[in-house]
Amino acid sequence: MSAAARTNRFRRRFIQLNLASWISHLNAHASTPQFQTQWQLSPELVARGALKKYRDKVKALQQAQLLDTETWFTQRIRAITAQLATQAAIDYPCSRDWQWEIHSSDQIDENSYGMAGGKIIISRPMVNDYSLNESALAMLIAHEMAHALLLHNFAEDQEALRLFPAWAEKSFEDFETAIDDDDTLIRALASLGKQQEFEADLKGLQLALRAGYAAKGLLAFYEKLRKKSAYPNFESLSHPAPAARLQRLRDWLTQQESPN
pLDDT digit string, tens, across residues 221-241:
999 999 999 999 999 989 999
Quick one: pLDDT at residue 109? 87
Weakest mean pLDDT among 20-24, 179-183, 247-251: 20-24
Establish if 231 belongs to a structural domain.
Answer: yes
Establish if 8 belongs to a structural domain.
Answer: no
Angle at alpha carbon of residue 138, lines to 137 and 139, rounded to 5° = 90
Percent of the chain whose pLDDT exceeds 70: 85
Question: What CA dihedral angle connects 52, 56, 62 and 65, to 10 degrees?
Answer: -140
Burial class (CB in 10 A: 0-12, 13-18, 19+), 12: exposed
209: pLDDT strictly greater than 50: yes
Establish if 165 belongs to a structural domain.
Answer: yes
Helix (H) or strand (E) holding 209: helix 190-210
Which domain range does residue 175 map to? 43-257
Q: How far apart are CA 117 and CA 101, in angstroms?
A: 9
Q: State how beta strands 113-115 and 101-105 pair.
A: unpaired
The contacts of residue 127 (CB under 8 Å, 6+ apart) are 73, 137, 140
Distance from chain centroid for Cα 240: 15
Establish if 182 belongs to a structural domain.
Answer: yes
Task: Over range 97-116, report the average pLDDT.
Answer: 96
4: pLDDT strictly greater than 80: no
Establish if 1 belongs to a structural domain.
Answer: no
120: pLDDT strictly greater than 60: yes
Domain count, the chain: 1
2: pLDDT strictly greater than 70: no
Establish if 10 belongs to a structural domain.
Answer: no
pTM attached to this predicted model: 0.85
Establish if 178 belongs to a structural domain.
Answer: yes
Instruction: Collapse the DSSP code of 85 into the 3-class scheme (helix H, G, I; strand E, B; otherwise coil) and give the result.
Output: helix
Establish if 72 belongs to a structural domain.
Answer: yes
